[in-house]
Structure 1
Amino acid sequence: MKNNRYKILVLSDLKKSESTLLKSSVGLAKMIDGEVKLFHVKKHIDIVKRENQFSAMRSLNEEHNNTKKQIDNLVETFSHTYGLNISGNYAFGKIKEEIQKQIELYNPDVIVLGQRDASSFKLIGDSVTRFILKKFKGIVMIASNENALEPDKKMTLAMLNGSRKIFNTGLSKALMTHTATPLKSFKIISSQNEEAEALDVMEDKVIEYKFEQNDNTLTTLSSYLLKSNINLLCVDRNEKQKKSTQEMPLHEVVNKINVSVLVSEA
């Protein structure tokens, strides 16, 4: 049994979706009795664009002040609104190196990232998401940029391809307490004639839906998840795929599903 509160590290680009990202992080924290730390990294090259040393130093000082003020205001607003312990920090340097340092320093149980925005390059882009999924062995939540997890409200939880690992962690009881039943399971199969494998997670309270594998499967699934008001989709990683289920690369799921995705421990 966990004696301390779960530590949730939120990696933010401080752009327009920051409030939705932090709101979903707070929603998760309220469910699992966690604390939240917001962390932002900016590359020096994006700050120092002036030629002489004096101008460069002035740019850095301005950016330090502006970034600290922005993070402090954001953290203070959410802490006051939701009565939750939220802290904030930032660094200037190489993005992946600074993130790795922060992970080692904070030792989070869960990392939260925003979904990749295909229209522009952001801190939490596809490469950073892959970096986190490769380097961090704990639970990762890829939060939807549009549909936040609402703090202190029941959510609708679903599983992809019979994902079960989340239910074998200390988070499972807390998540299920805040989940509206019935639990839903979405399975991608190679043909409609395949037999469905029996579910062993709350089997009597699970509704299963099947989607046949094709080029548009994830697009169709994403649309259906939104119409079904699914708030959080549980996905396993590093699990051998069953013969009855087509292999679906994790990065494709993360990039194409428009609801928040909770990725299991490695």
Structure 2
Amino acid sequence: MKNSKYKIVVLSDLKKNAITTLKSSVSLAHMIDADLELFHVKKHVDIIKRDNQLSAMRSINEEFISTKNKIKALVDPVSEAYDISIKSNFSFGNIKDEIKTYIKDNKPDVIVLGQRDAAPLKLMGDSITHFLLKEFNGVVMISSSNNALIPNEKMTLGVLNGSDKTFNTALSKDIITHIETPLKSFKVINSQHEKTKGASDFKEDTLEFVFEKNDNTIPTLSSYLSKSNINLLCVDRDENSANGSKSPSVLPLKETVNKLNVSLLVSGAL
């Protein structure tokens, strides 16, 4: 049994959608009674643009103060508005190395990061999202600016190709108590490999939508997610892992993250 609170870490680039991502993280923290911390990394190459050592040190000191003030300006109003303590930390260096070290030292239960507005098809690739899903075994929330989570308000939860095991964790059961019913299940099938079941995998209070896998699946699914006002879509990482049995009826995780402009909650790896 878990005696301590969960720990949520928000990886922030401090750019325009940072406040939306932070508010979504506050919402999740309230649901699961979690401690919340924001972490930011800036590359050295973006700081040191002067040749001599003295100038370089001056640049680092200036950037340290500037970054500290930016984080304070982001975090303090949200912390005050929603009566929640939000810690913050930042570092300079190689982004992936700094994140990897931070995860090892702090052992978060959930990591939250924002979804890029620009170039969504390049979101995975060699990106931070892809890096996290490989390096971090815990839950990852990818926050979208569209229909974002709002602190202290119930949300509409969806499940993509889910099964009962999606909610077999204490964290998931805590989230369930804060959702608007009915739960909405979105299932993508390939009729050549799978027959549509007459009933949902979930026993009650579930509204199920079934989509045939084809070239229009993603646009159609995105439209239904929008019409259903889904704030958070749960995706089971295990169904898409290289170690599991990858069904042709399941959308690949990469495609899901890249093309669905909705906040995603990707389950932890086994």
Structure 1 and Structure 2 fold alike (TM over 0.5):
yes
CA RMSD of aligned residues (A): 2.4
CA deviations on 1:83-107 (whole Å, 9 max, x unpaired) are 1121000000000110011111211
Q: Which residue of 1 aligns with 2:116?
A: 116
- For residue 263 of structure 1, what is the aligned residue in structure 2? 266
Percent of aligned pairs with the same residue? 60
In the TM superposition, residue 135 of structure 1 has moved relative to its aligned partner by 0.8
Per the TM alignment, residue 241 of structure 1 is displaced from its structure 2 partner at its CA by 5.1
- Number of residue-to-residue matches in the alignment: 264
Match of 1:220 in 2: 220
Bigger shift: 208-217 or 89-98? 208-217
Who is 1:172 aligned against?
Answer: 172
Greater shift, 174-183 or 55-64, is seen at 55-64
Q: Tell me the CA shift for residue 2 of structure 1.
A: 2.2
Task: Indicate whether 1:183 and 2:183 are aligned.
Answer: yes
In structure 1, distance between residues paired with 2:123 and 2:59 = 20
Q: Deviation at 1:132?
A: 0.6
Question: Structure 1 residues 224 and 252, CA, compared in 2 at 3 Å: closer, same or farther?
Answer: same
Distance in 1 of aligned mates of 2:246 and 2:93? 42
Quote the offset at 1:175 in angstroms: 1.0
| Residue of structure 2 equivalent to 1:148 | 148
Question: Following the alignment from structure 1 to structure 2, what is the Cα–Cα distance between the partners of residues 189 and 126?
Answer: 29
State the alpha-carbon separation in 2 of the partners of residues 151 and 20 from structure 1: 11
Query: Cα offset for 1:260?
Result: 0.6
Report the counterpart of residue 248 of structure 1 in structure 2.
Answer: 251
Quote the Cα distance in structure 1 between the aligned partners of 2:110 and 2:208.
Answer: 27
* Aligned-partner Cα distance in 1 for 2:255–2:81: 35
Distance 1:153 1:38 in 2: 22
CA apart distance, 1:35: 1.2
2 CA distance for matches of 1:194 and 1:109?
Answer: 36
**CA offset at residue 191 of structure 1?**
3.0
Deviation at 1:183?
Answer: 0.5
* Equivalent position of 1:6 in the other structure: 6
2:89 and 2:75 map into 1 onto residues whose CA distance is 10
Structure-1 residue corresponding to 2:18: 18
State how 1:8-157 maps to structure 2 within 5 Å. Answer: 8-119=8-119, 127-157=127-157
Q: Tell me how far apart the structure 2 counterparts of residues 248 and 264 of structure 1 sit (CA, whole Å).
A: 15
**How far has the Cα of 1:214 moved from its partner?**
1.3
Quick check: 1:20–1:147 contact (8 Å CA) kept in 2? no
Contact 1:115 1:125 in 2 (8 A): no
- Contact 1:222–1:258, Cα closer than 8 Å, also in 2: yes
Give ranges in structure 1 of 5+ residues lacking alignment: none
CA distance in 2, matches of 1:55, 1:242: 54
User: What TM-score do you get using the length of structure 2 for normalisation?
Assistant: 0.90
Q: Which amino acid aligns with 1:250?
A: L
Task: Assess if the C-alpha contact under 8 Å between 2:124 and 2:258 holds in 1.
Answer: no
Q: Which moved more, 1:74-83 or 1:162-171?
A: 162-171
Once the two structures are TM-superposed, the CA of residue 219 in structure 1 deviates from its matched residue by 2.4
- Unpaired segments of 5 or more residues in structure 2? none
